[in-house]
Amino acid sequence: MLPNFWPTASGLKIPGAAWIAGLLAVVLALLLPCLLLLGGFAIDLMGWEHQRIEQISMQQAGSASADLRGQSASEYAAIGPFRWKLSETPWVGTIPAPQKALGAIVLLGAGLILMSLLHWFHRRAGVQTALDTEQQLHERLFHHSGAIALERGLSAQSELLRSFHDQTFPAMRSAIVQWQQVYPKHFLQVMLLLVLAGLIHPWLTIAALLAAWIVRNIYRWQQVSSTTGRWVQQQRWAEAQQELSSISQTAPLMATIHDSQETLDNYRSNLAAYRSAGGMVLGCDKAKSPWVTLAICVLGTGLILLLALGMLDPGKHLSLGAGFVWTASICAAIYTGYRIAAAWKSVAKANPKLDEIFRFLAIESKPNSSANRELSGKLTRGVSAEHVTLQSGSNQKLLEDVSAFFQTGQLTAIISPDPLLAKALVEMALGFGQPVSGRLMFDDVDSKDLTSATIREHSLWIASNGPLVTGTIEDNLWLGLQRDATIDMREITRLARVSDAIFELPDGLQTLVSSNEQRLSPDLMFRLGIARAFLKKPSIVVAEEPAPGQPGIEAETTRALLEARNQSCVVLVLPARLSTLRAADQVVVLHHRKVADVGTHNELLERSELYRHWNYMHFAPAIR
């Protein structure tokens, strides 16, 4: 079955470049046999002209040899069923033979140039097809992962999406490019070349195919046997290497209690075994094996001999041009078959990975039809996870039986040796991911009874880049909010510890920034996100801290987080700084998909070996 990179169920469309590549492929497949025939015609024409000139020279020299009187250059050339009169070539009439030969060579050169250009355009079309397909998949994954994030979460999909980008897309691109190069071009081309060769000499063509089949089987046999034997020899080589190392280290000690000559003999014996095993490992490479090369040489020589005998037999009508066309057709057909096999192998390697993408795209996003409740105002108690289990994108458990309470007016740091676990838990508080078992409660309301818009309205995400969008600083602070002229922006920025930095800028709040702003430090952009929280007044703040910076700047950022906590909201932090852990009201430690411990920084340092290890690995320079 031919591969289908654009199944209907995936929502992908066949790119226009694929149709262009297919059209060029057909033209190229038809052009090659035509050029081979033209080359054979040019060779026969030059041979016929050379023979005619030789005969004229002999006649002028007055040769009276009986063997020469009756001979004349053949008036016809035949390449299989293709036969023409050399003295009167179609389309060019009775133009002198030298001009015909030169014209045929020029036409052949023009055909080769045209073929090279078409091949370049064909490859470009194949590359464009792969890129267009990848772009469609990127867009489909972007929209689809966003659609199912409300049910499965964001971090739950991250590993799967990362494998798609790191492994599936490169394999898919390579497979599409290679397949576009061979289909339908090489499939049509190999049939035309074999038909052309069969028309010239059917039995010799069958012999060539049989020879190619023999070489292929010798290659596969040698490949299988070398792969099997290589592992065994590698083990022997490794063992001999270890033994040599051991003997070298202990030889001086052995000399004190044992005959030195016997130790030397043992060393030489192991050295010989090491050399033998190493020779087998390094010589097992199929590229260095003589069997395939010998088979090609022997069978190729036999085919050339049979072709030569056929050309010497007057009854077979095999001219030099016909021999050239047959040889070139067989070589091109074998190479074409190799390209098809290589492309098929690439497709077979990519297909399982593509199937994973298509299965992921086939997941239906189920709207929460039972979501009919609203949060009347800010949370009064907080958010609680009650025996929550969350599945990953590959249907494996990401969180299992997690229970934790995040109280209003508290700053909670969530850590884990696996960052995905901590991110998955805080993302649920933002409305991304529904437990497959257990409950996530907002005060007394189950998250399954709340729409994503309701949760989003009462929550805010803060990242190390703000996040900022292109616009002024003031635009960024009011992002998604209705502006209120009665609010004192200086007070807001003062609480977020960004007032001095902003008003030192030439344009102050009207300073233009972008989503990838380089002029502002990560701490400053992070505190701008905190300032946004003072304007929105959310019930839940989820903050991903930037990497550690200067101690003074870190302290200001921690104070800004504590100010946000004092606004009677739940503050969940993915910490990157020791100062935040020390300031947190509680630290939740996740390990092996479960809650390993909960407590303050000092309490956990006293009783949790896991927490002490995690602290040492992340903050050892700060602790010392």
* Residue range 257-294, pLDDT digits in tens: 655 666 677 777 777 777 777 766 665 554 455 666 77
- Are 451 and 599 contained in the same domain? yes
Q: Is residue 374 assigned to a domain?
A: no
- Are 138 and 254 contained in the same domain? no
- Are 397 and 540 contained in the same domain? yes
Nearest-angstrom CA–CA distance, 131 and 177: 9
Q: Is residue 197 assigned to a domain?
A: yes
% of the chain at pLDDT higher than 70? 79
Q: Is residue 1 assigned to a domain?
A: no
Q: Is residue 311 assigned to a domain?
A: no
Q: Where are the alpha helices (DSSP H) in 61-96?
A: 66-69
Higher pLDDT, 335 or 392: 335
- Are 406 and 474 contained in the same domain? yes
- For residue 78, what pLDDT is reported? 66
What single string gives the DSSP state of each residue in 283-316? H--GGG-HHHHHHHHHHHHHHHHHHHHHHH-GGG
Higher pLDDT, 456 or 70: 456
Tell me: pLDDT of 390 over 80.
yes
Nearest-angstrom CA–CA distance, 64 and 69: 7
Residue 314 one-letter amino acid = P
Burial class (CB in 10 A: 0-12, 13-18, 19+), 493: buried
Residue 210 one-letter amino acid = L
- Are 426 and 414 contained in the same domain? yes
Tell me: pLDDT of 69 over 50.
no
Q: Is residue 411 assigned to a domain?
A: yes
Higher pLDDT, 68 or 393: 393
Q: Are 33 and 386 in contact (CB under 8 A)?
A: no
Q: Is residue 3 assigned to a domain?
A: no
- Are 147 and 35 contained in the same domain? yes
- Are 26 and 129 contained in the same domain? yes
Contacts of 78 (CB under 8 A, 6+ apart): 317, 319, 322
Q: Are 244 and 267 in contact (CB under 8 A)?
A: yes
Tell me: pLDDT of 598 over 80.
yes
Tell me: pLDDT of 72 over 50.
no
Mean pLDDT over the full length of the chain: 81
- Are 532 and 436 contained in the same domain? yes
Q: Is residue 9 assigned to a domain?
A: no
Q: Is residue 598 assigned to a domain?
A: yes
- For residue 301, what pLDDT is reported? 78
Q: Are 159 and 108 in contact (CB under 8 A)?
A: no
User: What is the CB-side half-sphere exposure of residue 10 using CA atoms within 13 A?
Assistant: 22
Higher pLDDT, 6 or 301: 6
Could you tell me the two tokens for 61?
């020299």
Helix/strand/coil for 84: strand
- Are 439 and 351 contained in the same domain? no
- For residue 615, what pLDDT is reported? 87
Tell me: pLDDT of 353 over 90.
no
Structural domain of 181: 15-62+71-201+318-361
Give kind and range of the element (H or E) at residue 580.
helix 578-583
- For residue 547, what pLDDT is reported? 84
Average pLDDT of 453-466? 87
- For residue 357, what pLDDT is reported? 86
Tell me: pLDDT of 252 over 70.
no
- Are 263 and 189 contained in the same domain? no
- Are 236 and 255 contained in the same domain? yes
Number of structural domains (the chain) is 3
Higher pLDDT, 442 or 103: 442
* Nearest CA among 342, 353, 79, 100 for reference residue 195: 79
- Are 353 and 485 contained in the same domain? no
